[in-house]
Chain A
Amino acid sequence: MDLRTLWQHDLAYSFRRSPVTIAAAALALLCVGSALLAPWIAPYNPFDAASLDLNAALAPPAWVDSGVAAHPLGTDDQGRDMLSTILYGTRISLAVGVAAVLFSVTVGVALGLLSGYAGGRVDAFLMRVADVQLSFPPILVALLINGVARMALPNSAQEQIAIPVLVLALGVSGWVQYARTVRGSTLVEKNREYVQAARVIGRHPLAIMLRHVLPNVLGPVLVIATIHIATAIITEATLSFLGVGVPPTTPSLGTLISRGNEFLISGVWWIVIFPGFALVTLVLSVNLLGDWLRDALNPKLR
């Protein structure tokens, strides 16, 4: 009985057995797919100033009286089609979320591995840095980095730099959880006999860390990263809502919600509800997938 195929089979099996997970996966795929294909499937390009038609501003969704079929989800105050803005917005949100998580994973895993394997003072130092950082709420850290960047850079560069700075801010606020997990696993694996065997053979410590230990500590990272994508997207939405996230010219779902909020009181509900709904769907489906992955990969629950 080949255990590896059994495991992979088990994963597929547990996936098939859970209708919630299948639904979540389908939804996530829908969100991601449509976001990726936005330039091709969006009926309009909301960022092309030339295509804006102010006459169509504040049109309600198609099924309400005075809505038009050309704009199924209505338009905003500048005549931009809501469906298109949501598609493009999701794209930005996802891009920022995934990039931030990639950054966190790289930094976190590297530092965690180093900390766990080297031990001693290196470990103590890195873990204190992590502890200090953890005492700041992630939003605060992101705000801080953002603020510093804005002060340090000239106004003209603000636009281009906004997204990379945002990714950096989100990434820096999230590396600690990976570092801690990987450090814990590394401490365990370091004392296992296959690592000792490699040392007896005379392998260089760096080679041992990368080739022996790393493949065995990456498991939990996958689970954390999946759920982290959801949190990163929400944090980005929050930052953008507060006005310190993506620039207004490339709105993410957060920016859309922020803008739409102002119109809510005058009864124009579709500008905030639809982007909000899109955000919730995306985050929920990714979270559910992450939940399933964590349970499916946990040997104790099988």
Chain B
Amino acid sequence: MTPVLEITDLRVEFPTRRGSLVAVDGVSLAIAPGEVLGVVGESGAGKSLTGTAVIGLLEPPGRIAAGEIRLEGERIDRLPHERLRRIRGRRIGAIFQDPLTSLNPLYTIGAQLVETIRTHLDLGAGAARERALALLGEVGIPAPEARIDHYPHQFSGGMRQRVVIALALCAEPRLIIADEPTTALDVSIQAQIIQLLKRLARDHGTAVMLITHDMGVIAETADRVAVMYAGRIAEIGPVREVIAAARHPYTAGLMGAIPKIRRAGAARAPLVQIEGAMPRLNAIPRGCAFHPRCAKCFERCRSERPELRAAGSNHAACWLYDERPASAQA
């Protein structure tokens, strides 16, 4: 089955006066229909840029310097603006973090929904409105007939995000890029939105790229997860495996650093702490980008950059999992 999205060796650069800054460096991943792939990482890891590159909304001077992005087999990274614009709404839907700025405050949500529907699908005004009502019902807006003519400010944060999801689903896209869709919402609402996304992906067979810094959201929603660090993928694999049995030292450190609630009187140990911070774009270390902070670093890590290789049921970009006995003692 052709994956809905296939990214091969993507490289996103920002040319500056002092040379190019590489924000995404050789990222490859694929998402199957109906699958939710989580892309998780801390700030500066390049996860949002990866999503933006796929949608084709990279702001100049940022540009795709190398690699391929294929949507259902077709290359989309080199398309002229006009064609990409048509693909963007029709076959790729986007959900961003802030529902307030994703909706135009001057138009009713009905108007925005209908406009999007009619732009991408050949429907008359009446049919488009019917479809909009159906979508609103599907995303859980109570009494859609009454609320379709309301303005965005008349909705609460969680409801607005549902409207944004409806807007993203308007034209039956094959792929949805969701960039921090729950970060601005309250915890109780987050849970609701997560459930919604998961259900919709399953029901519509849409592939979802879920970009977030919140591992908890990933645990609940994603089927597979890619952990990004300094513009590269450190580890990728099924969600259960990556969370419970992380192979890459960074992922392991990350999982240890996440506070978890201990139910019954277990003693409170200090959180695992990874010393240092993610390198800035102009100071990415040679070899493995994580090596200065890694407790298991050895000689090879300092000089050669590891590619993703099999590590148990996951793939990790780490020399610890190199089968060839050549250098390397852990």
Contact = CB atoms under 8 A, between A and B. Distances in A.
A and B touch in the complex (CB under 8 A): yes
Interface of A: 1, 13
B17 interface: yes
Interface in B1-42: 17
Contacts of A1: 280, 282
Contacts of B280: 1
A141 to B, nearest CB: 39
Interface residues of B, number: 3
Nearest to B17: A13
A4 to B, nearest CB: 15
A16 to B, nearest CB: 11
3 contacts: A1-B280, A1-B282, A13-B17
Contacts of B17: 13
Contacts of A13: 17
A13 B16 CA distance: 12
Interface string B267-297: 0000000000000101000000000000000
Q: Which 3 A-B pairs have the closest CB atoms?
A: A1-B282, A1-B280, A13-B17
A118 B178 CA distance: 44
Nearest to B282: A1
Nearest to A9: B17
A111 B17 CA distance: 42
Nearest to A10: B17
B176 to A, nearest CB: 29
A1 B17 CA distance: 13
B281 to A, nearest CB: 9
A1 B279 CA distance: 11
A139 to B, nearest CB: 39
Nearest to A1: B282
A13 B17 CA distance: 10
Nearest to A13: B17
A1 B282 CA distance: 8
A13 B282 CA distance: 20
Nearest to B21: A1
A13 B280 CA distance: 23
A67 B235 CA distance: 86
Interface string B242-286: 000000000000000000000000000000000000001010000
